[in-house]
Structure 1
Amino acid sequence: MILGSSFNMLVVPYLLLYLHAEFGFRGAILVTGGVCLNQIPASMVFHPVKWHSKKPHHCATVQERDCKTDHLRAVLEAFISNLSLLKFTRVVVISLPFAVYFTGVVFTSSYIPFVMQSTGYTLEDSAYCLTIMGIFHIMATLIHPCLSFAFRGSHFPIMAVGYGSLPVALVGFIHGTNIHVKAASMAFFGMSMSFVGVSIGPVIAETFDASMVLRVLSINGIFDTTAFLIIGPLTGSSLTF
């Protein structure tokens, strides 16, 4: 996670493949957990131990302690204020499709190895498809600024292409008759993911204002969570390739 989603798409499939073959399922889980724990010392590179070792300041009076709740109050007030954005149609129009996109991408990517194996493909085949998806995700992310310049700085067309390409790529993957067709579909899928994911922030800034990006993204988080809880169980019971 520290190195980014594109790097994970390239490395994690082969890492999990090796761990599963070498140590079995339980051993792979334990090793993966240990790798995740390494994020703690890795974070020290960016947050020095000396900074975290500062002597804490203890409040001496009740009045001082009460002041510490101002931070929590500010967060709650900001959250309540952000909820008022739900009355704006444009916020809902932006947040709802992105929530469905986010949930669909997460579950589709997670189920690919299991579903491919259930239809006769090997774990190496699924790792190959996910790797191709990661490579094209990186490529699309790198060329994204150039595409925005081609549209005079607008990110709306790029996001629209991404939304339109995702189902096309998924249909191609579902009906692909061999590993090469499925890999090509995953390459298209990875590019579409990048077009939508990278465009969401700039689209919010174009629609409203740069200062509104975080507020709208907080509302988008509510939509993401709701879609995750609703679509997740349905995806698990019905997604077949």
Structure 2
Amino acid sequence: MTGIARLYGKMEELALGEAAAAEESDIPDGGWGWVVTLAATVIFFVVTIPSVSFGVLFSDMLLGWDTSFTVTSWVFNLGLVFAGLCSFLTAPLVDEFGWRKVALTSGFLMGLGLTFSAGCNMWILVCIAYLVMLHYFLRWRRVSNAIIVLGVCISQMTMPPLITYLQEEYGSVGAILITGAVSFNCCPAAMLLHPVEWHKQRSYPTTSSKKDENPLPGNTPGTSACLMRILSKSRSCLQLLKSPVVITIAIMIGMHMTVVFNVFTAVPFAMEKVGFSLQDASLCLAVAGGCSLASRVVSALATFCPGIRARTIFLSGSFLTSVSITGFSLVDTLVEKAVTLGLCGFGYGLAMSLTGLVVVEEVGLSMLLPVLSVSFFMSGVLFLIVGPVSGVVRDVTDSYVASLCFVAACLLFSVVVGVLLPVAHILHQRRQHQQQSQEQEQQQDEESCCAVTSVLVELMVVVLVVDGAV
């Protein structure tokens, strides 16, 4: 995938790349890496809170204000739009300041957002958690990946019932403040993300992880120069969207996140409209979290089976999620809704647990961070479109069934796009071949021009010599 790497330009040095491949024999593969795994699990737990618990946390308040579902969708999706659109800054920020400083700042901002507003989801933290894990593990990489994504399931299983209890004991405002306080746990977790060089026996040239303690001399000028470097590298990162392979992966990942998070937000509102209580909605969300936990174990085991690609499992999970969302909107009893939402959680966990592995499988390990950042950027764009449109569909039709079927259809579209990923690879290879042919032709033209120029110069010299002799 050298063509994609060429599009990325200088930003490719932020990922593992060839230098990291040379160091694989000295990767800790344990030790402090398990502490990093625990810290990343905490980060995943906290980052998931605004996404899966928004409906439970704010439903009573918004329903008391008689807020339309369109406005509710805007409130929820704007925070995720901000998180997605800012995620493409991950690579340049890590390159400039190191992953600990960026993670600590992002965690602090997320805690403030959830305490004083409707939440501020920082997917920069997710990108960094994946990146750090890859630096610490090689042989145990799949196991570490399976552990850190458990944070999402634990959050989904525990937070909705806990928030319901806090609302009964301390009211809506008290529950929001306590949940915000829980989100600040990202800060101490970020401090545990040591530069991997601290735990290696041999030293290597400075990488992005070392910049926490030893910034490069070229990265020390003033604020304006630092800002210009970040903007320049961010622009290079967005150029990845020129690749059909990257845009396909971004749609697969971004659409799945957009649809599932909007469904989890709509569940309390949809169930209360047909006569269920908030406790019933919390129970269904907890069941979805438990099924998501089970699916992540299944997906982790499936990745060890030869011949099974991560993309196949991801698309299977997305298809199951789409079908179960439609089923949830059509069934009537609490048991049926819990079962269908459990299937939705199973499909969600099956897909999202393999997000990083899908990227590595399709474009290579060196492109994980930039492609993951672009995928989250795409999710921000989709949150800006799909979420509010689903709210408009709900208010126009006065039916959550129509709204949920709409988002299920959007997810099914992303499955179709994902199935066409091999075609995207072929298109990319053709484009790459055309670029190489053009470069070769240009090089040949330049060589021809140089040869002609050389001949003309020699002729002029000969003429001058002859003229001087005459």
> What TM-score bracket applies, with the shorter chain setting the length?
0.7 to 0.9
The separation in 2 between residues aligned to 1:39 and 1:199, in whole angstroms, is 23
Cα deviation, 1:6-49, whole Å, max 9, x if unaligned, reads: 11111111111112222322332233333334555x4487379x
**CA positional deviation for 1:208:** 1.5
Residue 102 (structure 1) aligns with: 257
Cα deviation, 1:147-166, whole Å, max 9, x if unaligned, reads: 12335252121012012111
The alpha-carbon distance between structure 1 residues 111 and 207, as it changes in their structure 2 partners (threshold 3 A), is same
Q: Does 1:144 align with 2:291?
A: no
**CA positional deviation for 1:222:** 1.9
The root-mean-square deviation of aligned C-alpha atoms, in Å, is 2.7
The alpha-carbon distance between structure 1 residues 39 and 66, as it changes in their structure 2 partners (threshold 3 A), is closer
Q: Does 1:46 align with 2:192?
A: yes
Residue 30 (structure 1) aligns with: 177
User: 2:180 is aligned with what amino acid?
Assistant: G
Greater C-alpha Rg:
2
Residue 154 (structure 2) aligns with: 7
Q: Does 1:189 align with 2:344?
A: yes
User: 2:267 is aligned with what amino acid?
Assistant: I
TM-score by structure 1 length?
A: 0.83
Q: Could you tell me the percent identity over the aligned residues? A: 26
The separation in 2 between residues aligned to 1:199 and 1:109, in whole angstroms, is 20
The alpha-carbon distance between structure 1 residues 44 and 169, as it changes in their structure 2 partners (threshold 3 A), is closer
The alpha-carbon distance between structure 1 residues 18 and 146, as it changes in their structure 2 partners (threshold 3 A), is same
The separation in 2 between residues aligned to 1:95 and 1:196, in whole angstroms, is 14
Residue 80 (structure 2) aligns with: none
Structure 1, unpaired ranges of 5+: 49-55, 58-62
Residue 172 (structure 1) aligns with: 327
The alpha-carbon distance between structure 1 residues 191 and 72, as it changes in their structure 2 partners (threshold 3 A), is same
Contact 1:173 1:186 in 2 (8 A): yes
Contact 1:13 1:130 in 2 (8 A): yes
The alpha-carbon distance between structure 1 residues 201 and 177, as it changes in their structure 2 partners (threshold 3 A), is same
**CA positional deviation for 1:231:** 1.7
Matched residue of 2:383: which SS? helix
Structure 2, unpaired ranges of 5+: 1-41, 46-150, 195-212, 395-399, 402-470
Residue 207 (structure 1) aligns with: 362
TM alignment of 1:59-78, pairs within 5 A: 66=221, 72-78=227-233
Residue 52 (structure 1) aligns with: none
Contact 1:151 1:157 in 2 (8 A): no
Count, aligned residues: 228
User: 1:19 is aligned with what amino acid?
Assistant: L
Residue 156 (structure 1) aligns with: 311
Residue 165 (structure 2) aligns with: 18
The separation in 2 between residues aligned to 1:47 and 1:95, in whole angstroms, is 27
**CA positional deviation for 1:229:** 1.3
